[in-house]
Amino acid sequence: MTIHKLPYESIPLLAGRDVAYINEVPALRPFYKYPVEIEAFRQVVADKKKDKTDRKTLVEVLKKQHRLLPTTSALQENIEKLASENTFTIVTAHQPSLFTGPLYYIFKIVSAINLAKQLNEFYPENHFVPIFISSGEDHDFAEINHLHLFNKTLTWESGESGPTGLMKTASLQPVLAELKDILGESEYARRIYEIIERTHTQNERYADAAFALAHELFMEDGLVVLNTNDAQLKKLFIPIIKEEIFNQPSHELVNQAIEELEAAGFPSQATPRDINFFYLAEQLRERIVEEDGVFKVLNTALTFTKEEMGAEIESHPERFSPNVIMRPIYQELILPNLAYIGGGGELAYWLERKAQFTHFNLNFPMLIRRNSAMWIDSGSSKRMEKLGLSVDEIWEGTEDLIKIYLRKNAEEEFHLTEEKGAFEPIFKKIAEKTEAVDPTLVKTVWAEHAKLLKSLEQLETRLVRAEKQKHDTALQQIRSLKEKLFPGNGLQERYDNFLAFYLRQGDAFFSLLKENFDPLEKKFVVFES
């Protein structure tokens, strides 16, 4: 296995703001609080200690959520230590995608585990716990109901609506059967299928199944999984729920940050609403709006006066689900958290939140870009070697990669760049002589030059086409290679599921990630077999 670590700016498929944050572009500096470096955590710890985290409730909830699951000493220790004022969390989060969904689901978790490990070594006077939030309050089922595996797409048809985490796992049986057929009967296949099948049939609700799967995959590492859709935790959120629904401060605060970001050259990521909460119930997650002093739940007959809404929040805070604008506030309220680890898109909306955190009197955490990676299997590696393509070159577009290959392997020079350039001085001299005789004919001279260039370009196109035909097999291999490594012309981590890699390597797949991921290193990792 060869490990390549590339600077993020050399990865053309990443968003501009993503790379700008990683590289600490000065224009973004006003929108975050801490530089991404291990020494800065000393200040983050001091600042977070000023927040009043309800550790007792947090530990109670975590013990409740883990009570029926297998455990490890590392996990038990991490939960118990969260009661201590010297214990802090490193958080990442993702909605419960089908059997973990795309690779970056796993990458987020390993990034958090590794950073917590680093901090425990660097700051032995404190303790640091990796937390993975897996709640399932969102209702965008189309985002989480599928996975891509071996050129096939498995899709879950639940027949339900509302929060995905509250959907019943009974409807997963056809998908589990299809998954078993695809995985086959190898030792690794049987091992991982047993975990997936057990976690998704022994739990009635999908949020619990996804929770259990993440727990079993990483409990040996002390990862603490948390479902924030919990009545005890939501009770802690009551004052902020009321503030947001009745006074609606986030709309103006976040919009102001968006305007400032846009002025600095960065587009908005999430649009705030007047009220940034949904009303949650069985088969229901709908926006709350205010009209003429009356609070309504869209697409339902539910209405509340201000007094009734206040009473509803007090009695049933679990029915109030924060949207993307309020979710960071909720997370940082209930956790003694120092850093949030996320992808470029997630950090983009966190960068809109700094003033909002100040308003709610919460510390704004360090924002850390999760590790990104790509896996080049042995077959692809051999094909790259045969084609003479390097790891640095494969990021080029398919047609650009074909041109690189042809330049290296063409029997004859087929580009006419030099020849086309040679006519420029000739026509310049002709134009000078023409102007001396009849200036009105100069345009005609340059028109003839343009015609000649067009003819040469057409000839060049035919030469390129002829050269491509000579190398047709190799060019088809390049196209196939690009589609395998960059499915849908995107990053592998956003498309492929981890199972394709686990079947080849078993638990060694996770070990390789843990050995080579360092979110503070700020490098894109390429694993080449």
Helix (H) or strand (E) holding 524: strand 523-528
% residues pLDDT > 90 (the chain): 88
The pLDDT of residue 139: 85
Return the amino acid letter for 502.
Answer: Y
Strand-strand pairing, 366-369 and 337-342:
parallel
Encode pLDDT of 374-401 as tens digits: 999 999 999 999 999 999 999 999 989 9
Q: Which of 112, 68, 329 is nearest to 224 (CA)?
A: 112
- Average pLDDT (332-347) is 97
Q: Provide the edge-to-edge strand list for the sheet that holds 366-369.
A: 224-226, 127-133, 87-93, 337-342, 366-369
Q: Quick check: 301 pLDDT over 70?
A: yes
Phi, psi (5° rounding) for residue 81? -70, -15
DSSP 342: E
Encode pLDDT of 58-103 as tens digits: 999 999 999 999 999 999 999 999 999 999 999 999 999 999 999 9
Q: Quick check: 366 pLDDT over 80?
A: yes
How is the chain split into domains, by residue range? 2-236+324-372+504-528, 379-489
- Average pLDDT (236-260) is 97
Q: Which of 402, 391, 397, 334 is nearest to 365 (CA)?
A: 334
- Mean pLDDT across the chain, nearest whole number? 94
